[in-house]
Structure 1
């Protein structure tokens, strides 16, 4: 099982959209995927069609030790894609845990039984757009970070902040944490700024940046309002095809990583 945290401290970069649709695309190519919604807003849960009434157990219950992770999962309409949903109770985790021991490792401890169960090949954790205890728990539990990066002017500034956070977590909580890749989102080929930002990011981060680029696409924006990933809403649109290409890249990177001797 490979745990990937989808994170960026900057909001509005397509983070939740990427978590939803990458998870769907991975399931579409035959992987068994668990999506964990770690944002109290619960947008990832809504985006895969899991409404409030279906969230009898949530990530809050898992982190607080009230439910095992496997019993908190909900099946989505996408074959091969399960969800641990979120609700507003998650926003109280930081205060409720206070200074408890191992409070930064609650999610890692909860996911350990899943690692040995073989139930999933990938776990994707959608984080809130901030550095709080939920994000720290996600990074402490993860094997790698997947970074959505909007093709906008302040993109590199936000990315440098995230890289510092990853370094801090690696140094203090999770030495195995690595960057799985950076995915460029909201790319508009008609806008010269998108091309400039993409070029700057590739020049700075090289092969860490995926070749697959997620375009600005109205179908991607519409899909969440129907409670569907864009691959279910419109498989043939440019956004869906981009996420399928990204999923293939993610899988190929993981295969290449496993092939390298330790």
Structure 2
């Protein structure tokens, strides 16, 4: 199971939209996908219709109160896509993890996912827009990082902090972690888009080939709780997420073929 953390400290850049649509597109390539919602706002869980405080969530898994397979939702409406939901219970989980010094704080998600790794080809970790214990656990569990970046003048805010945190995790906790790339979302040909690409390149951040073009259909599909391929199969962003799935699968397959990954 290849694990991909989708992270940016800036909100509204399309992390959850990317997690949901990338999962849907990977599933059409006959890949089994687990989506883990680590954001207390629970937008990904809302998308799949599983923001339910009567059910187990990723919070209980992080706290070691339940095994991951007990909290995973298999009925997401998308064949091949399962969900480990998240919600405001993550606030308590973050506090409790920080207070608990009896076991390592950073590896709880990694260890929990090991029990279900054989069931999935991919695990997409939808991270919150902050560096809480959910984000740290995601980076310590992940093999890859995708950084969605929108195309406005503040697009690079927090990028130094993200890269610094990734490098710290690589150095101390997870040496196999790699940046797959930053990915432009809401892309339009503006001076800001050109500037964002220039600034990211100057920082040494690799860029994915795929860009997600701006279209109102993205917001409409999110409100309809449907992936773009179902809601608007002919729109530009649908084509872009299909291309993203192909690029992700190509990158991962190449590394796995070269033997550069411990795919567990």
TM > 0.5 fold call:
yes
1:136-151 equivalent positions in 2, closer than 5 A? 136-151=136-151
Q: Conserved in 1, the CA contact under 8 Å of 2:51 and 2:85?
A: no
Distance in 2 (CA, whole Å) between partners of 1:214 and 1:136 is 26
Q: Conserved in 1, the CA contact under 8 Å of 2:181 and 2:207?
A: yes
| SS in structure 1 of the partner of residue 165 of structure 2 | helix
Provide the aligned length of Structure 1 versus Structure 2.
Answer: 257
The residue aligned with 1:110 is 112
Q: Report how far residue 21 of structure 1 moved.
A: 0.9
| SS in structure 2 of the partner of residue 74 of structure 1 | coil
Distance in 1 (CA, whole Å) between partners of 2:90 and 2:171 is 26
The residue aligned with 1:22 is 22
Distance in 1 (CA, whole Å) between partners of 2:149 and 2:238 is 18
CA RMSD of aligned residues (A): 1.8
Within the alignment, does 1:99 sit opposite 2:100 as a pair? yes
Distance in 2 (CA, whole Å) between partners of 1:204 and 1:103 is 30
Within the alignment, does 1:253 sit opposite 2:251 as a pair? yes
TM-score by length of structure 1 reads 0.92
Distance in 1 (CA, whole Å) between partners of 2:202 and 2:169 is 25
Deviations 1:56-105 (A, max 9, x none): 11101211222211221112111111101112111111222213221221
TM-score by length of structure 2 reads 0.91
Q: Conserved in 1, the CA contact under 8 Å of 2:33 and 2:81?
A: yes
Distance in 2 (CA, whole Å) between partners of 1:10 and 1:222 is 22
Q: Which moved more, 1:140-149 or 1:243-252?
A: 140-149
| SS in structure 1 of the partner of residue 233 of structure 2 | coil
Structure in which a larger fraction of residues adopt strand: 1
Q: Conserved in 1, the CA contact under 8 Å of 2:51 and 2:87?
A: no
Task: Name structure 1 gaps, 5 residues minimum.
Answer: none
Distance in 1 (CA, whole Å) between partners of 2:7 and 2:126 is 7
Q: Report how far residue 160 of structure 1 moved.
A: 2.3
The residue aligned with 2:169 is 169
Q: Conserved in 1, the CA contact under 8 Å of 2:180 and 2:208?
A: no
1:64-213 equivalent positions in 2, closer than 5 A? 64-75=63-74, 76-97=76-97, 98-100=99-101, 101-115=103-117, 118-189=118-189, 191-202=190-201, 205=204, 208-213=206-211
Q: Report how far residue 25 of structure 1 moved.
A: 1.0
After superposition, the Cα gap between the structure-2 partners of 1:261 and 1:123, relative to the gap in structure 1 and judged at 3 Å, is: closer
Structure in which a larger fraction of residues adopt helix: 1
Q: Conserved in 2, the CA contact under 8 Å of 1:149 and 1:159?
A: no
The residue aligned with 1:220 is 218
Task: Name structure 2 gaps, 5 residues minimum.
Answer: none
| SS in structure 2 of the partner of residue 213 of structure 1 | coil
Q: Which moved more, 1:24-33 or 1:99-108?
A: 99-108
